[in-house]
Amino acid sequence: MTLSLDLCLYLCAAVFSIGVYGVLSRQNIIVILMSLELMLNGVNLAIISFGRYFITPEGSALSGTGASSSQIFVIIVLAIAAAEAAVGLAILLAVYRRWRSARIGDMRLLKG
Amino acid sequence: MDALVFYISGILMVASALLVVTRKNPVYSAILLVVFFLLTSLNFLVLRSPFLAVIQVLVYGGAIMVLFVFVLMLLNLTEEELDEKVEPGRKLLAGAGSVLLFVLLAWAINSSERIQAAGDTDLTGPVKESVARAGETREIGEALFSEHILPFEFTSILIFIAIIGAIYLTKTRRADERQATEPAVEQPEESA
């Protein structure tokens, strides 16, 4: 049984699309933030797949420490995801305290 | 064998992701999201990234999920507040949009020459000794603190700003302080 690169990428595309569906269809802000985490995870898996593909049996297609580059990418995405979750949930708390609602449809102060 | 693990956990990943976005109660979503993160870390292991597999469990499964569950507990939403009142047309439209996005992505993957050049290259196959450790802690540390030191330092600034932002946003102001900063919004009758 073998694992090909495009199969990994189809899985990432599926997870990303499910995340997009969650962001578009849900009203609860917490679940929307969770869907964002799903999307970021899909992207992380794609980066890891590409990084693994470039490590061929003959060695790495990338020079020097390049073989670890995909890992560094994912670490930085992870840090940004953590920061995003913290700020997003802080905004949610502030909004809930003001309007007593966690529904995104109720936030229409800037709606024209 | 490794490929089989990837296939099974991949199918379970899609299933748990679907459940995360469709459950009505966000607590179920949070628990299923932990399952999703654990399965993702299994796939990271198959793709020779042991360090990231551990970090995935620690940071996502631990830190970020605790944050989510903590906020869920803090808000303590009632049955009525959880009712989303989404019209079915909107859900249908969102479903159609995301299926369209998946089809577009699949088409892009399918028609990309560089990805198709990979063909049936087995991602679970053996690799040469010199790069076999690329996903391990020592190699990542060396790369992070030599070649990628600048983005690493910028990440620390970003997290610092995020901490300040989160504290500022969740800070409750005292009553007298609030009167000084937002008089028109809080006490419209008195100011009139």
Q: Which helix (H) or strand (E) holds B113?
A: helix B113-118
Please return the burial class of A3, using the count of CB atoms within 10 Å of its CB with bins 0-12, 13-18 and 19+: buried
- Do residue A75 and residue B52 have CB atoms under 8 angstroms apart? yes
- Do residue A4 and residue B119 have CB atoms under 8 angstroms apart? yes
Q: For residue range B151-184, list pLDDT tens digits in order.
A: 999 999 999 999 999 999 888 776 666 555 554 4
Determine the residue type at A46. Answer: A
CA neighbor of A52 nearest in space, from B113, B89, B112, B45: B45
| B82 → closest Cβ in A28, A48, A52 | A28
pLDDT beyond 80 at B186: no
pTM over 0.90: no
Token digits of residue B5: 């693990």
| A34 → closest Cβ in B63, B68, B82 | B68
Question: Sorting pLDDT into bands at 50, 70 and 90, what band is A64?
Answer: low
3 state SS of A56: strand
Sign of CA dihedral A23, A26, A31, A33: positive
Q: Which helix (H) or strand (E) holds A96?
A: helix A69-99
- Do residue A55 and residue B118 have CB atoms under 8 angstroms apart? no
Report yes or no: B78 at the A interface, CB cutoff 8 Å. Answer: no
Determine the residue type at A31. Answer: V
Give the relative orientation of helices B65-75 and A69-99 as an angle to the nearest 10 degrees: 10
pLDDT beyond 70 at A58: no
Specify the range with the lowest mean pLDDT, choosing from A9-23, B14-28, B118-132.
B118-132
- Do residue A52 and residue B48 have CB atoms under 8 angstroms apart? yes
- Do residue B21 and residue A21 have CB atoms under 8 angstroms apart? yes
Contacts of A26 in chain B (CB under 8 A): 21, 84, 86
Candidate CATH numbers 3.40.50.2020, 1.10.3080.10, 1.10.287.3510, 3.30.1330.60; the one for domain A5-105: 1.10.287.3510
Please return the burial class of B56, using the count of CB atoms within 10 Å of its CB with bins 0-12, 13-18 and 19+: buried
| B155 → closest Cβ in A35, A64, A76 | A76
Contacts of A61 in chain B (CB under 8 A): none
Q: Residue ranges of the domains in chain A?
A: 5-105
Question: Sorting pLDDT into bands at 50, 70 and 90, what band is B187?
Answer: very low
In chain B the first and final C-alpha atoms are separated, in Å, by 75
Q: What confidence score (pLDDT) does residue B191 get?
A: 44
CA neighbor of A40 nearest in space, from A76, A81, A85: A81
Cα(A82)–Cα(B64) distance, rounded to whole angstroms? Answer: 6
- Do residue A79 and residue B166 have CB atoms under 8 angstroms apart? no
- Do residue B85 and residue A26 have CB atoms under 8 angstroms apart? no
Using CA coordinates, name the residue in chain B closest to A101.
B81
